[in-house]
Amino acid sequence: QVHMVESGGGLVQPGESLRLSCAASGSIVRVNAMGWYRQAPGKQRELVSKITRLGTTNYADSVKGRFIISRDNAENTVRLQMNSLKPEDTAVYYCNLQTDVFQYWGQGTQVTVSS
C-alpha cells in the first residue's frame, strides 16, 4: 500500500508564489514518474506537470515559465514551485505517482489565487 501526503496549498494574491510538496511512502517498487494534476470547479482534472525517474519534465502550456517541478528519487518526494500565480490557477492540486502497473493519488490540496 502506498501513502501520499501533500502540503503547501493556501490562499495567495495574484503574482505571489506557493510551493507544493508531496511525499510517498509504503510498498513502492519502482517509481516511473511523479507529478501534479489539478481540478477546478466544474472542470476535468488536468495535468499540470510531471517528472520522470530520469528527470524528464513536462508542463501544461498554461504554466510553462511560471511553475518548476523537482523530485528527490531517494525520498520519493516531488515539489512544485508555483510563481506568478494567477486566479485561473485556482484549483485542488493532486499529487500523482506512477509505477509500471499502478498509479496513486494524494488527497488533494487547495490552491486559491484571489485579490
Predicted confidence (pLDDT) at residue 69 exceeds the cutoff of 90: yes
Predicted confidence (pLDDT) at residue 71 exceeds the cutoff of 90: yes
DSSP state of 89: G
Q: What percent of the chain stands above pLDDT 90? A: 86
Q: What percent of the chain stands above pLDDT 70? A: 100
The better pLDDT of the pair 76, 59 is held by: 59
Q: Read off the pLDDT band of 86 (50, 70, 90).
A: very high
**What does the block give as the cell for 1?**
500500500
* pLDDT value, residue 113: 98
User: Which residue from 94, 82, 103, 92 is spatially nearest to 33, judged by alpha carbons?
Assistant: 103
Predicted confidence (pLDDT) at residue 75 exceeds the cutoff of 90: no
- Whether residue 6 contacts residue 93, with contact meaning beta carbons closer than 8 Å, is answered with yes
* pLDDT value, residue 97: 95
Average pLDDT, the chain: 95
Average pLDDT over residues 63-83: 94
